[in-house]
Homo-oligomer: A and B are copies of this chain.
Protein backbone atom coordinates (compact mmCIF):
# COMPACT_ATOMS: atom_id res chain seq x y z
CA UNK A 1 0.00 0.00 0.00
CA UNK A 2 2.95 2.31 -0.54
CA UNK A 3 2.30 3.05 -4.25
CA UNK A 4 2.50 6.81 -4.78
CA UNK A 5 -0.56 8.68 -6.01
CA UNK A 6 1.02 9.80 -9.29
CA UNK A 7 -0.77 10.62 -12.53
CA UNK A 8 0.26 8.34 -15.37
CA UNK A 9 -0.73 9.84 -18.75
CA UNK A 10 -1.45 7.61 -21.74
CA UNK A 11 1.49 8.65 -23.96
CA UNK A 12 0.45 6.17 -26.63
CA UNK A 13 -2.90 7.82 -27.31
CA UNK A 14 -1.56 10.30 -29.89
CA UNK A 15 -0.30 7.40 -32.00
CA UNK A 16 -3.56 5.44 -31.73
CA UNK A 17 -6.10 8.26 -32.09
CA UNK A 18 -4.24 11.20 -33.60
CA UNK A 19 -4.74 13.41 -30.52
CA UNK A 20 -2.69 13.55 -27.32
CA UNK A 21 -4.43 12.93 -24.00
CA UNK A 22 -6.07 16.01 -22.49
CA UNK A 23 -6.00 16.69 -18.74
CA UNK A 24 -9.34 16.84 -16.96
CA UNK A 25 -8.56 19.33 -14.20
CA UNK A 26 -11.54 18.80 -11.90
CA UNK A 27 -10.76 16.48 -8.99
CA UNK A 28 -7.01 16.78 -9.49
CA UNK A 29 -4.69 18.78 -7.23
CA UNK A 30 -2.84 21.72 -8.78
CA UNK A 31 0.40 19.79 -8.32
CA UNK A 32 -1.04 16.82 -10.23
CA UNK A 33 -2.18 19.10 -13.06
CA UNK A 34 1.22 20.75 -13.36
CA UNK A 35 3.02 17.41 -13.31
CA UNK A 36 0.75 15.92 -15.96
CA UNK A 37 1.02 19.00 -18.17
CA UNK A 38 4.79 18.96 -17.91
CA UNK A 39 4.93 15.24 -18.75
CA UNK A 40 2.62 15.58 -21.76
CA UNK A 41 4.24 18.70 -23.21
CA UNK A 42 7.63 17.01 -22.87
CA UNK A 43 6.38 13.83 -24.55
CA UNK A 44 4.58 15.71 -27.36
CA UNK A 45 6.56 18.93 -27.97
CA UNK A 46 4.99 19.36 -31.40
CA UNK A 47 1.34 19.44 -30.22
CA UNK A 48 -0.68 21.70 -27.94
CA UNK A 49 -1.80 20.05 -24.70
CA UNK A 50 -5.19 21.01 -23.26
CA UNK A 51 -6.24 21.24 -19.61
CA UNK A 52 -10.00 21.60 -18.89
CA UNK A 53 -12.12 22.39 -15.81
CA UNK A 54 -9.43 24.35 -14.00
CA UNK A 55 -10.06 26.02 -10.67
CA UNK A 56 -9.02 29.66 -10.21
CA UNK A 57 -5.96 28.42 -8.37
CA UNK A 58 -5.02 26.02 -11.16
CA UNK A 59 -5.30 28.79 -13.77
CA UNK A 60 -3.07 31.06 -11.71
CA UNK A 61 -0.42 28.43 -11.03
CA UNK A 62 -0.34 27.27 -14.66
CA UNK A 63 0.04 30.86 -15.84
CA UNK A 64 3.15 31.11 -13.68
CA UNK A 65 4.53 27.64 -14.41
CA UNK A 66 3.91 27.76 -18.17
CA UNK A 67 4.42 31.42 -19.18
CA UNK A 68 3.69 30.73 -22.85
CA UNK A 69 0.43 28.90 -22.12
CA UNK A 70 -2.84 30.42 -23.23
CA UNK A 71 -5.34 30.80 -20.38
CA UNK A 72 -9.14 31.20 -20.77
CA UNK A 73 -10.87 32.25 -17.56
CA UNK A 74 -14.40 31.89 -18.94
CA UNK A 75 -13.97 28.38 -20.33
CA UNK A 76 -11.50 27.53 -17.53
CA UNK A 77 -8.92 26.01 -19.88
CA UNK A 78 -5.16 26.07 -20.31
CA UNK A 79 -3.47 25.33 -23.65
CA UNK A 80 0.26 24.79 -23.76
CA UNK A 81 2.39 24.09 -26.84
CA UNK A 82 2.10 24.84 -30.58
CA UNK A 83 -1.44 24.83 -32.02
CA UNK A 84 -1.88 22.66 -35.14
CA UNK A 85 -2.83 24.40 -38.38
CA UNK A 86 -6.62 24.61 -38.48
CA UNK A 87 -8.56 22.64 -41.09
CA UNK A 88 -12.28 23.11 -41.64
CA UNK A 89 -14.54 25.28 -39.46
CA UNK A 90 -16.91 24.68 -36.54
CA UNK A 91 -19.88 26.92 -35.66
CA UNK A 92 -20.40 27.09 -31.90
CA UNK A 93 -24.01 28.18 -31.37
CA UNK A 94 -25.06 29.06 -27.79
CA UNK A 95 -28.57 29.82 -26.59
CA UNK A 96 -27.90 32.18 -23.72
CA UNK A 97 -25.34 34.10 -21.71
CA UNK A 98 -25.10 31.37 -19.10
CA UNK A 99 -24.11 28.82 -21.74
CA UNK A 100 -20.93 30.74 -22.61
CA UNK A 101 -18.49 28.88 -20.31
CA UNK A 102 -19.40 25.63 -22.05
CA UNK A 103 -19.14 27.34 -25.43
CA UNK A 104 -15.66 28.65 -24.62
CA UNK A 105 -14.48 25.22 -23.48
CA UNK A 106 -15.77 23.80 -26.77
CA UNK A 107 -14.07 26.51 -28.85
CA UNK A 108 -10.71 26.07 -27.15
CA UNK A 109 -10.94 22.32 -27.66
CA UNK A 110 -11.81 22.67 -31.34
CA UNK A 111 -8.81 24.95 -31.87
CA UNK A 112 -6.40 22.75 -29.90
CA UNK A 113 -7.57 19.70 -31.85
CA UNK A 114 -6.88 21.36 -35.20
CA UNK A 115 -9.96 23.09 -36.54
CA UNK A 116 -11.25 26.70 -36.56
CA UNK A 117 -14.20 27.61 -34.29
CA UNK A 118 -16.46 30.68 -34.46
CA UNK A 119 -19.11 31.71 -31.94
CA UNK A 120 -22.76 32.71 -32.39
CA UNK A 121 -24.08 33.64 -28.93
CA UNK A 122 -27.50 34.61 -27.55
CA UNK A 123 -29.47 32.91 -30.32
CA UNK A 124 -31.98 31.12 -28.05
CA UNK A 125 -35.30 30.05 -29.52
CA UNK A 126 -37.44 32.50 -27.54
CA UNK A 127 -36.12 35.12 -30.01
CA UNK A 128 -35.97 33.21 -33.28
CA UNK A 129 -35.19 36.20 -35.48
CA UNK A 130 -31.63 36.34 -34.16
CA UNK A 131 -30.96 32.73 -35.10
CA UNK A 132 -32.64 32.95 -38.50
CA UNK A 133 -30.45 35.98 -39.34
CA UNK A 134 -27.36 33.77 -38.95
CA UNK A 135 -28.66 30.79 -40.96
CA UNK A 136 -26.20 31.14 -43.83
CA UNK A 137 -23.12 31.45 -41.60
CA UNK A 138 -24.15 28.28 -39.82
CA UNK A 139 -24.80 26.42 -43.07
CA UNK A 140 -21.25 27.16 -44.23
CA UNK A 141 -19.56 25.44 -41.29
CA UNK A 142 -18.25 21.87 -41.52
CA UNK A 143 -19.72 20.95 -38.13
CA UNK A 144 -21.98 22.66 -35.61
CA UNK A 145 -21.90 22.55 -31.82
CA UNK A 146 -25.30 23.66 -30.47
CA UNK A 147 -25.38 24.48 -26.75
CA UNK A 148 -28.49 25.06 -24.65
CA UNK A 149 -29.92 24.57 -21.17
CA UNK A 150 -33.55 24.80 -19.99
CA UNK A 151 -35.75 23.03 -22.59
CA UNK A 152 -32.78 22.33 -24.88
CA UNK A 153 -34.60 23.04 -28.14
CA UNK A 154 -31.88 24.95 -29.98
CA UNK A 155 -30.22 21.90 -31.67
CA UNK A 156 -33.59 20.76 -33.05
CA UNK A 157 -34.26 24.15 -34.59
CA UNK A 158 -30.72 24.34 -36.01
CA UNK A 159 -30.99 20.77 -37.29
CA UNK A 160 -34.15 21.70 -39.16
CA UNK A 161 -32.47 24.66 -40.87
CA UNK A 162 -29.27 23.10 -42.25
CA UNK A 163 -27.76 19.73 -43.17
CA UNK A 164 -24.44 20.13 -41.37
CA UNK A 165 -23.70 17.56 -38.61
CA UNK A 166 -25.03 18.95 -35.30
CA UNK A 167 -23.47 18.01 -31.96
CA UNK A 168 -25.81 19.01 -29.15
CA UNK A 169 -24.50 19.95 -25.68
CA UNK A 170 -27.04 20.18 -22.87
CA UNK A 171 -26.02 22.58 -20.11
CA UNK A 172 -26.92 22.60 -16.47
CA UNK A 173 -28.44 26.07 -16.87
CA UNK A 174 -31.98 26.34 -15.56
CA UNK A 175 -33.93 25.93 -12.36
CA UNK A 176 -36.93 24.08 -10.95
CA UNK A 177 -37.23 20.78 -12.75
CA UNK A 178 -34.41 21.37 -15.23
CA UNK A 179 -32.63 18.84 -13.06
CA UNK A 180 -29.12 20.02 -13.74
CA UNK A 181 -29.37 19.60 -17.49
CA UNK A 182 -31.22 16.30 -17.69
CA UNK A 183 -34.28 17.92 -19.24
CA UNK A 184 -32.19 19.52 -21.96
CA UNK A 185 -30.34 16.27 -22.57
CA UNK A 186 -33.54 14.25 -22.89
CA UNK A 187 -34.95 16.84 -25.28
CA UNK A 188 -31.85 16.70 -27.45
CA UNK A 189 -31.85 12.90 -27.58
CA UNK A 190 -35.50 13.08 -28.70
CA UNK A 191 -34.93 15.75 -31.31
CA UNK A 192 -37.36 15.66 -34.21
CA UNK A 193 -34.55 16.89 -36.48
CA UNK A 194 -32.61 13.92 -37.91
CA UNK A 195 -28.92 13.53 -37.34
CA UNK A 196 -28.56 15.46 -34.10
CA UNK A 197 -26.05 13.68 -31.81
CA UNK A 198 -25.55 14.41 -28.13
CA UNK A 199 -22.77 14.55 -25.54
CA UNK A 200 -22.97 14.61 -21.76
CA UNK A 201 -24.19 17.64 -19.79
CA UNK A 202 -21.81 20.64 -19.90
CA UNK A 203 -19.33 18.53 -21.90
CA UNK A 204 -17.93 21.23 -24.15
CA UNK A 205 -14.67 19.31 -24.36
CA UNK A 206 -16.30 16.16 -25.73
CA UNK A 207 -18.30 18.13 -28.27
CA UNK A 208 -15.14 19.97 -29.27
CA UNK A 209 -13.18 16.76 -29.88
CA UNK A 210 -15.99 15.25 -31.98
CA UNK A 211 -16.53 18.44 -34.00
CA UNK A 212 -12.82 18.99 -34.58
CA UNK A 213 -12.35 15.46 -35.86
CA UNK A 214 -15.20 15.91 -38.32
CA UNK A 215 -14.25 19.40 -39.50
CA UNK A 216 -10.52 18.80 -39.84
CA UNK A 217 -11.11 15.60 -41.82
CA UNK A 218 -13.34 17.49 -44.24
CA UNK A 219 -11.01 20.49 -44.36
CA UNK A 220 -7.93 18.32 -44.82
CA UNK A 221 -9.59 16.37 -47.63
CA UNK A 222 -10.64 19.63 -49.27
CA UNK A 223 -7.00 20.79 -49.06
CA UNK A 224 -5.78 17.51 -50.47
CA UNK A 225 -4.07 16.52 -47.20
CA UNK A 226 -4.51 12.95 -46.00
CA UNK A 227 -5.51 12.98 -42.31
CA UNK A 228 -4.71 9.97 -40.15
CA UNK A 229 -6.84 10.23 -37.05
Q: Are B192 and A12 in contact (CB under 8 A)?
A: no
For residue A163, CB closer than 8 A to chain B, the reply is yes
Cβ proximity bits A183-222 to B, threshold 8 Å, 1 near / 0 not: 1111111111111111111110111011001100111011
Copies of this chain in the oligomer = 8
For residue A137, CB closer than 8 A to chain B, the reply is no
Cβ proximity bits A33-75 to B, threshold 8 Å, 1 near / 0 not: 0000000000000000000010000000000000000001011
Interface footprint category on A? 35 or more
For residue A108, CB closer than 8 A to chain B, the reply is yes
Interface residues of A in 1-36 (CB under 8 A from B): 1, 3, 5-8, 10, 12-13, 16-19, 22, 26-28, 32
User: Closest chain B residue to A155 by CB distance?
Assistant: B151
Q: Are A126 and B198 in contact (CB under 8 A)?
A: no
Q: Identify the A interface with B (CB < 8 A).
A: 1, 3, 5-8, 10, 12-13, 16-19, 22, 26-28, 32, 53, 72, 74-75, 95-98, 100, 104, 107-108, 111, 119, 121-122, 124-130, 132, 142, 150-153, 156-157, 159-165, 167, 173-179, 181-203, 205-207, 209-210, 213-214, 217-219, 221-222, 229
